Amino acid sequence: MAPSTMAIDDETTQKAGVAHFPTMNPRIRQRRESVHEDRARRRVRWYYVAGGALGLLVLLVLVAHSPFLSARVVRVTGDHSEVSTRAILEAGGLAGHPPMITVNPATSEANIEALPYIRTATVVRHWPDAVDVAVTERHPVAEMAGPGRSWSLVDPTGRTVAVVATTVAGTPVLSIRTPHGPLVPAQLGQAFDPPAANGLVVAAALPPAFVDQVLKVTEAPNGSVTLLFAHNITVRIGSTALLAQKIQATADVLAGAHLYPGAVINVTVPSLPTVAPS
């Protein structure tokens, strides 16, 4: 009788429109529920860990950018008589006590060295709140005409460190004549080409005793250099070979000979200097 009853019950159930599902084993159901709960707990833990890490990161960023870790002490040392401390700090991004974490020594050095008068810059951070800046300055050895009616002061590399309205006393005028015409000075902060022009080399080698006496340094298209001293005395240097000896020979002649205005001193062969009238 049992099989017949089962068949009737199934038929009745189907007629009633109710789907029949086999009963799930309680152990399997419990295992599935446990797996789902474990996954949920892992997600919650992950959210806590991620949130904690994000919060820690935000806290570190806030601390790093707080006044406690700012560049409160910035020291500038070295020769920079032509450039103010303020200009150096602003160029290096060190004005206004910036956060130490934002101070990039390499970038600051490059930006400070871009200042026309600055030759080298070294930036060192000292945690938690100090930065040292050591600079060396460029010194002009000559002035060149231009741009326009102004005058450009150039250092031994040919870099224009300043542009002034009038000539500067005690600074010789440099005139370089090339086969293509006069060499013009470079823009402010840039160097002219070629940087190793003979006239510039001679101007940079002049001793302090000559600086106030030399009015003009002229380089001819063939590279030969001539100096014009006060009282219209000309010194023919020639090439830059044996330059130290040529300068010494010039000094000896100037000290030992009675020269008239217009005299020409030839030290192209330094061991045999000559003096001739103009």
Task: Provide the pLDDT for residue 85.
Answer: 97
Of 166, 162, 164, 71, which is closest to residue 118 (Cα–Cα)?
A: 162
Q: For 37-46, 55-64, 157-166, which range has the lowest pLDDT when averaged over its residues?
A: 55-64
Quote the pTM value. Answer: 0.74
Per-residue pLDDT tens digits for 122-156: 999 999 999 999 999 999 999 999 999 999 999 99
In the block, residue with structure tokens 């101070």: 103
**139, 159 contact by CB (below 8 A):** no
Residue 57 reports pLDDT greater than 70 = no
Per-residue pLDDT tens digits for 165-197: 999 999 999 999 998 899 999 999 999 887 779
